[in-house]
Amino acid sequence: MPALTSVLLASALALGPRAEADPSERDTSCAAADELFVGFGDAASPAALEVYIDPMRTRQLELWLEARRIAGERPGELRIELIVSRGGVAEDVPAADALRQWFMAVVKAAQLRAGPEQLATASATIEDALRLLESQGPARVALQLQRGGAAGLARELGFDADTEAAVAAHTRGAKGRCLARQLDRDSRALSIRTMGQQATVVIIAKASGERLLQHVNPELRELRTQLDRAMQRTQVNPDASDFVPFGPSLGGQSSRLDQTFPETGVLVGGRALPHRLLIFVEDEEHGALSHWLEPAMRYRSDHPGELSVQLIAAGVGSRAVRLRRRLCAARSLGLEVEFLSHLAQRPGVRRLYETDLDSVLQPVADSQACSDSEPLNMDRSGEGPDGRRSSDFGHPRGAWLDGRPISRGDLESLEWQLGTSQTQGLIDWLLQPTNMAVFEF
């Protein structure tokens, strides 16, 4: 019996929480120079976008490049910072953490080599390392590191002997312990906010101290809208950290988009109708597109002559170009209503009729009749909503009803919203001359 008790006690200790390290064994000598900090943009910007990169996950290159692009659209307004973490998961796996620390060491060595004034060089190294992970696969690179293949990876990245030595120095010894501790600290802090679930997230850190966690996909499709809403959000508690998955609806506090865009995208309904819905997307397969279009097209069917709907392809990516050409084809063939009704269906239903639609649209979309660089005709100042200069990367995003951004939930209650706005108030009714006579004494 005592032997069994000893076995159970040993198992409990093995499975239980780790004991705290002796204070004398803790290494508290890490200086700022030993830790990793990657920031691009003006430090005085009113907001920073903290992008959490997990080298053990795929599509991190796409995430980083799109984040850099978004920051480039907002010079002086947004700073971008890279944070390496375990992607929301708290527990550490030695082989996976070795890869994450190697990536941190590569970025740190690139910073040391480039110097503070040559951030473009450091940025190129970050992209090269992420591209290497994307092409070879994180698991394969982790296995190569486990087998002592760091030198081979350094050669693939084109490092000289000094840079290779700097990478090695940050994966072992005191410098290595500093990066490992930073990875653990940032990962555990993020896991508290994601409740230990693996996720792709960014944090919008405002100068006021407010931090907003945003769950995103690697394409960052909704992030521009979330940033606009976060920057306009009324701050209640400066010390609060809020969880905002897709941003609140702002009502009257939001920026306005009052321009019209003739000969762009697809428009159904006249421009003189009482209400107008504008939708800007980068991709025909945008996850929210059917949720935006379906209630709008249903409302148009139930209330003819009240709402116009215009869909515009925003951005310069290949998917935006394809959508822009297909919208042009639908406009040229007079199939605006049919095409928007098709896009309003769920993706699974949409694919049932995709072949028939493509046989009609695609020949025109691929012809010289449709351009892939169709510009948005902004106002004379060239400014978009919020007074920012408009460019091909500065198109608005999301859905805008009568000049204000709205969410998917707002569109679900479209009939109530527009019906309420048309209801005559009691004061207005009383002020009509024909009704005032009723109350004469």
- Per-residue pLDDT tens for 41-54? 888 899 999 999 99
Q: Which residues of the chain have pLDDT under 70?
A: 1-29, 32-33, 114-121, 233-256, 258, 373-395, 408-410, 412-413, 415-417, 419-441
Distance separating alpha carbons of residues 81 and 388, to the nearest angstrom = 22
Contact partners, residue 28, CB within 8 Å, separation at least 6? none
pLDDT of residue 416: 67
Residue 404, Cβ neighbours under 10 Å: how many? 19
pLDDT of residue 232: 75
The C-alpha torsion from 258 through 262 and 267 to 269, rounded to 10°, is: 70
Instruction: Supply the DSSP string of 326-372, one letter for each residue.
Output: HHHHHHHHT-HHHHHHHHTS-HHHHTTSHHHHHHHHHHHHTSTTS-S
- Which CA distances in Å does 397 have to 299, 367, 400? 22, 27, 9
Instruction: Supply the DSSP string of 234-248, one letter for each residue.
Output: PPS-TT-EEE-SS--
Angle at alpha carbon of residue 147, lines to 133 and 88, rounded to 5°: 45
Distance separating alpha carbons of residues 330 and 324, to the nearest angstrom = 10
pTM of the complete model beyond 0.75: no
Distance separating alpha carbons of residues 265 and 332, to the nearest angstrom = 11
For the chain, the maximum distance between any two Cα atoms, rounded to a whole number of angstroms, is 103
